[in-house]
Structure 1
């Protein structure tokens, strides 16, 4: 069942146009648009040096070799300069990889590169903490800029 059909099945709670609008806001259309469009960002509310920690525990992509799904948690720590990423935009950006055949290393670097380019933070670290496949645990860490403020990462034991 697609998200759109789920919303449409809610019947009297939502009109068809309201349900379709929600499905477009959060479903396939929103994810596809996020992949191509610039990320929504907001001005940083402070000139102080501070750290933002984001975790997306529902990451999925496809193994480039087998096509089977890979699962993991994407962790982003960054010290903003002028911009912060809007959280829904971040979620949709990460979800945009769900049907892409991409390696753990490539996706972790791609996430860092896009956030570095669009947010221009003082420093950023992206960690791809992937669930085991074939008994092998993979944790990829990519850093750029001044990352001295970031705490040590504790990998998910799964």
Structure 2
């Protein structure tokens, strides 16, 4: 895991030409100070076109990811998150590994008050697989909207 040595100072990617990382392990997630430290609020990232590769067949897998988190001292910079997520396009891993790994990496590095990720995977072999992970119970008083991704029959 590569960490951003300037995470507390200036974003590495904003305003810069940035190449897609070759793998999730090589991707640098950039964190900036939370502009509303002390406030309890929810940030949501919806990623409706996430892709990775099946580790058995090498065929593409597609998912709609929803990442919700209650920031503490830092927030993730969205361009670095896009590059990190894009690095999965040539990464072979099972749905569970991708979904839980993304959530764990964000939670470990950013240290939010709370984080959850929902991975709503499109079917391959006729079975849609939905994967959910969270850091624990949400903080008391946090407004927590539904992720609003319908079961597979209604997706698309």
- Is TM-score (shorter-chain normalized) higher than 0.5? yes
Q: Quick one: distance in 2 between partners of 1:31 and 1:37?
A: 5
**RMSD between superposed Cα atoms in Å:** 2.0
* Pair 1:155-2:134 in alignment: no
* Pair 1:53-2:44 in alignment: yes
Q: Quick one: distance in 1 between partners of 2:91 and 2:40?
A: 35
**CA spacing shift, 1:145–1:126, aligned 2, 3 Å:** same
In structure 2, the residue matched to 1:43 is 33
Kindly tell me the number of residue pairs found equivalent between the two proteins: 133
Higher strand share: 1
Rg larger in 1 or in 2?
1
Q: Which runs of 4+ in 1 moved over 4 A?
A: none
Q: Quick one: distance in 1 between partners of 2:84 and 2:118?
A: 15
In structure 1, the residue matched to 2:17 is 25
Higher helix share: 1
Contact 1:49–1:79 under 8 Å retained in 2: yes
Q: Quick one: distance in 2 between partners of 1:38 and 1:60?
A: 19
Q: Which moved more, 1:95-104 or 1:129-138?
A: 129-138
Alpha-carbon displacement from aligned partner over 1:11-56 (angstroms, at most 9, x marks no partner): xxxxxxxxxxxxx934xx3323874254111111112000001011
**Unaligned residue ranges in structure 2 (runs of 5+):** 1-15
* Pair 1:101-2:92 in alignment: yes
Alpha-carbon displacement from aligned partner over 1:94-129 (angstroms, at most 9, x marks no partner): 111111110000001110111001110010001111
**CA spacing shift, 1:147–1:83, aligned 2, 3 Å:** same
Q: Quick one: distance in 1 between partners of 2:83 and 2:106?
A: 13
Q: Secondary structure at the residue paired with 1:136?
A: coil
Q: Which moved more, 1:36-45 or 1:81-90?
A: 36-45
Structure 2 length-normalised TM: 0.77
